[in-house]
Amino acid sequence: MLVYLRLLKESFSFAINALRNNKLRTFLSLLGVTVGIFSIIAVLAAVDSLDKTITSQLSSLDSNTMYVVNVSFGPSDVPRWQRESFDPITYNEYKSLKSSLSEAKHVAFQLGVKPENIRYESELVSGVNTVVVSNEFTDIQVLEFEKGRFYNESESNSGKAVVVIGTEIAKSLFGELEPIGKKVRLYGQKFTVIGVVKKQGSGLLGPSNDVSIFLPANFVRNKFGDNNPNNMHIVIIKPEAGADIEGLKAEIIQILRNKRGLKADEIDTFFVNIIAGLQNAIDEMLGVLNLIGWVISGFSLLVGGFGIANIMFVSVKERTNLIGIQKSLGAKNKFILFQFLFEAVILAIVGGVVGLFLVWIGTLIGSNLAEDFEFVLSPQNMLLGFFISSIIGLISGVIPALRASRLDPVEAIRTGM
């Protein structure tokens, strides 16, 4: 064991000397490993950070939450021209689902509308994300409140002119004033502010709650009717805990088919989209990003591997005389082999550490620049960087190390002289 520790120490010394004595050559050779490790770990860190943020934003939703709408959230076998002819989900269909579904915990109705302007006295915020939903929405996508509350069932059913606003909207309209109870102008009439949603941060899957407002769906229905082609009608369903998801989906389909009078040979004219399917699609996208990162970084690692091999071949040639002396004094072939292998691995790890350091600096800068997005460099990715560096060094150093270990001591000393 002590022999190998001494060997490791000597190899480290040789590696450091190689760095000192041939700075430019070593820098250029290790640049490939540094860039390769930086590329791979940076991509993995970015994907992990993205996954963490998306997971955090989806955590307020049950993965089995269903969105019943006349469009598909993912790829569909139904031709586009046929999908575009599907009738929107109606409010009556929402009420039928709410009263009939056996394993649905909450059922909400939502209208997808265009952004609106909201005004308080002389203050105006334009293009505000407007979420038009029934009162059950807050039970499905749990909202936390900084102040006030969400509108109740009575206010929702009557379409009362009340509104819940995000923190950024509250700050823009009211500054330091108390927002609860204030009258804001929206859709040409006054609304009473009854709640302010707690700060969420930036939204990756749509506008953040911070820049959104929430108002009863029936207000918009009462004012504009149900036939506005620009509004998307959505029924959101949260199943009971432990519900048979496929059974519930089949029940939804049967109720809507009956309501729409569809015959047995006719296709469904609506889609039941499940959040879990969206999560799978996101995971597939992240997997593709990972793969692209590995492919691109692989070229840099290949170049880095050749660079280290070049250093090692030169190192063997420069130390031929020393190798001959070591072997003449009794050094075994494996001692020489491990000496050069350790040196190659150490050189590669140096390049890998620089790459990891650059990623770490990048995560700090990125997190500071993106206020609501945190870049994460996990210990697993750091260990992966060290492992890849070591493997590159090991592979790159095998042939030069074998050549050094097989040198004839007499010929090596003579050649060195």
Task: Kindly state whether residue 225 falls inside one of the protein's structural domains.
Answer: yes
Place 336 in a pLDDT band, splitting at 50, 70 and 90.
confident
Place 108 in a pLDDT band, splitting at 50, 70 and 90.
very high
Contacts of 134 (CB under 8 A, 6+ apart): 94, 108, 109, 110, 156, 216, 217, 218
**Higher local confidence (pLDDT), 89 or 410:** 89
Q: How many domains does the chain have?
A: 2
Q: Among 205, 235, 269, where does a domain finish?
A: 269
Most confident of 58-72, 123-137, 372-386: 123-137
Answer yes or no: do 285 and 263 share one domain. Answer: no
> Tokens for 69?
């709408």
Region 304-324: mean pLDDT is 75
Decide: 68 and 249 in contact? Cβ < 8 Å: no
Answer yes or no: do 157 and 286 share one domain. Answer: no
Q: Is 180 helix (H, G, I), strand (E, B) or coil?
A: coil
Residue 19 has pLDDT above 70, yes or no: no
Answer yes or no: do 286 and 264 share one domain. Answer: no
What's the longest Cα–Cα distance across the chain?
101
Residue 290 has pLDDT above 80, yes or no: no
Strand partners, 131: 112, 214
CA distance 312 to 242: 62
Confidence (pTM): 0.62
Instruction: With CA atoms as reference, report the closest residue to 389 among 342, 362, 361, 353.
Output: 353
Most confident of 97-106, 164-173, 373-382: 164-173
Write phi, then psi, for 206 (nearest 5 degrees): 140, 175
Region 280-299: mean pLDDT is 72
Note the pLDDT tens digit of each residue in 229-260.
Answer: 778 899 999 888 878 888 888 999 999 999 98
Write phi, then psi, for 268 (nearest 5 degrees): -65, 140
CA distance 413 to 321: 5
Count of Cβ atoms closer than 10 Å to residue 107 Cβ: 24
Query: Which pLDDT value is given to residue 366?
Result: 73
Q: Among 269, 298, 331, where does a domain finish?
A: 269
**Higher local confidence (pLDDT), 310 or 53:** 310
Determine the structural domain holding residue 298 and report its residue range: 2-57+281-416
Answer yes or no: do 106 and 220 share one domain. Answer: yes
Strands (E), 121-177: 123-133, 145-148, 162-165
β-pairing, 162-165 vs 189-197, is parallel
Strand partners, 205: none
Query: Which pLDDT value is given to residue 37?
Result: 79
